[in-house]
Structure 1
Amino acid sequence: MSEFRKGNVGGVDRALRALVAVALAAFAYVQLAGPYAYAAYAVAAVLAATALIGSCPMYTLLGVSTCRSKIGRPT
């Protein structure tokens, strides 16, 4: 499996990303116009996608993971 496809976004992180994505998209729809709205929609889309997929390419590049450790769990 590719390094970018491995899950590295934990449950709480995923929930917060989804919540922020919805809030940012709603804020952009109500308050922003023009390029600022498009930029906010783009950020919201990235947050929503990483929340749905459970993997963040930036986390992979930085070597960060918010998933629980699988050490000690039976395979």
Structure 2
Amino acid sequence: MLKTNVGGIDRILRIVVGLALIAGFFLNTEASMRWLYLIGIVPLATGLFSTCPLYSIFGINTCPMKKS
């Protein structure tokens, strides 16, 4: 399982952007390259699972530190 590395505000923004792009796919039926809206699946999935593989590669973590 991947480590959680996406924090609160980052997570909310990813979910909103992902849902907006997927909504654009269904609402903009006349666009010639509307399949590009499906890229919204990526930020939606990373927001829902609170993990980002690119963050892991670059060592970024937007989650608050747990206090021991």
TM-score (normalizing by structure 2):
0.83
After the TM superposition, which segments of 4 or more aligned residues of structure 1 sit over 3 Å from their partners?
A: none
| Residue number in structure 2 paired with 1:63 | 59
TM-score, reference length from structure 1: 0.77
Gaps of 5+ in 1: none
SS at match of 1:69: coil
RMSD: 1.6
Q: Unaligned stretches of 5+ in structure 2?
A: none
Summarize the alignment of residues 1-75 of structure 1 with structure 2, pairs less than 5 Å apart.
5-31=2-28, 33-34=31-32, 36-41=33-38, 43-70=39-66, 73-74=67-68
Matching residue's letter, 2:47: A
